[in-house]
Structure 1
Amino acid sequence: MTADHYTYRVHFSAADGEYVATVAEFASLSWLDSSPAGALLGLMQVVTDVVEDLRTSGEPVPAPLADREYSGKFMVRIPPEAHRRLAIEAAEQHVSLNRLIADRLAVA
């Protein structure tokens, strides 16, 4: 597993006047730079160092989201009225409730 498998985002921060890179698997890490590429490369080096330190100390290393396996199933609790409203909408569209929700999530 290398640092390039993690989930990075780079955006411009008006407050900082620079680009900020973040990594989903390490919420406390970020890197600022005047260029998007510099922010990304800086953070990737930090992640490489942190992963190495975690391994050296015997601590768990977060698995990259890209390398995890997903079942495609998860449970969501919603208020009964919302459940009823969605079930009615699914019936009116002649699709299953699962299909209706999956389609909604896919475009969200």
Structure 2
Amino acid sequence: MSADHYTYRVTWSPEDGEHVGLCAEFPSLSWLAGTPDAALKGIRRIVAQCVEDMRQSGEDIPQPLAEKHYSGQFRVRIPPEVHRSLATQAAEQGVSLNRLASAKLAA
């Protein structure tokens, strides 16, 4: 497994006054740097080190999000009044509740 397959993001941290590199699969790791490029390089380096340490110690290494299989289905529990409201909206629009919910989630 390559550390290059993980999901990286760089954002500005107003609290730190620097760019912060993040990895979705390793939420406890971050890297602060003065430039976006340096933040990305830093987080990629620390994730690669972490993966290597995990490999050497026999720990389970997180699977990259990009390599996971997604069925396109998940369950959501909502209050009955929200369910009723969504069902009413779907009926008024002439679409299924599933289609209405999917459209709202995509927006």
Letter in structure 1 aligned against 2:13: S
The residue number in structure 2 matching 1:59 is 59
The residue number in structure 2 matching 1:86 is 86
The residue number in structure 1 matching 2:3 is 3
Unaligned runs of 5+ in 2: none
Unaligned runs of 5+ in 1: none
The residue number in structure 2 matching 1:29 is 29
Identity of aligned residues (%): 60
Secondary structure of the residue aligned to 2:91 is: helix
- Per the TM alignment, residue 104 of structure 1 is displaced from its structure 2 partner at its CA by 0.6
Structure 1 residue runs of 4+, over 2 Å off? none
Residues 16-62 of structure 1: CA deviation (Å, up to 9, x unaligned): 11100111111110001100011001110110111011011100000
1:9-20 correspondence to structure 2 within 5 Å: 9-20=9-20
Residue-pair matches, total = 107
Point out the more displaced range, 29-38 or 9-18.
Answer: 9-18
The residue number in structure 1 matching 2:45 is 45
**TM value normalised by structure 1:** 0.96
Letter in structure 1 aligned against 2:91: A
**TM value normalised by structure 2:** 0.97
